[in-house]
Amino acid sequence: LTWSDGLLSLQGRRLDLHDIRAMAQFRRELMETAGPERARRILTRYGYFWGQNVAAGMLRVFRWDSTEELLRACFRLQTVGGLAKASVTGIALPPDGSVRIEATLDMSAESEEHLAELGPAPEPSCWILTAYAAGYASFCLGRPIYFVETACRACGGGTCTILGRDEASWGARAPAIADRFR
């Protein structure tokens, strides 16, 4: 990590820092002007692109002992970045090509943002963090991996939980899930 006047970079990739209150206000403004579904799509796309770019940097800069190690790095980076205390609760990469990744996002900044600006949510609201994991895993594995938030602090849960699977493993739910990432 390199710091200098006007520049923060990690192995040549420029980073920026922002206050979560500003992001919370942006989320509220986006929800009010674009509507909840459009806002969700925009924030999901942002998170997906972010995750893809982080994965590209991680593959360019480091050598990985295993695919599992590379995938676990996604959640470590979310933790180091102050986005959540993210931890993997399970990764399954069986020979049949299916993928199953489960993680918790304790102290999710995104759920905190949502609660601060919009109050309790009717459905899980960690759209950026969930999509970040999807973009990261999709880039690393070279095919679509979609994550869904199954529990969220903004909905009254104690912690946020996400589940990632390859498109085929989502079964009949796949088209609706995939649509949010497009």
Q: What would the pLDDT profile of 48-61 be if each residue is shown by its tens digit?
A: 999 999 999 999 98
Q: What is the pLDDT of residue 29?
A: 96
Averaged pLDDT score across all residues of the chain: 93
Residue 3 pLDDT class (50, 70, 90 cuts)? low
pLDDT, tens digit, 9 for 90 and up, residues 22-39? 999 999 999 999 999 999
pLDDT of 1 over the 70 cut:
no
Q: How far is CA 170 from CA 5, 36, 43, 145, 165, in A?
A: 46, 24, 22, 10, 7
Q: What is the pLDDT of residue 12?
A: 73
Say whether pTM exceeds 0.75: yes
pLDDT of 9 over the 80 cut:
no
Pick the closest to residue 115 from 162, 157, 82 (CA basis). Answer: 157
Pairing of strands 85-92, 100-106: antiparallel
pLDDT of 16 over the 90 cut:
no
pLDDT, tens digit, 9 for 90 and up, residues 155-167? 998 999 999 999 9
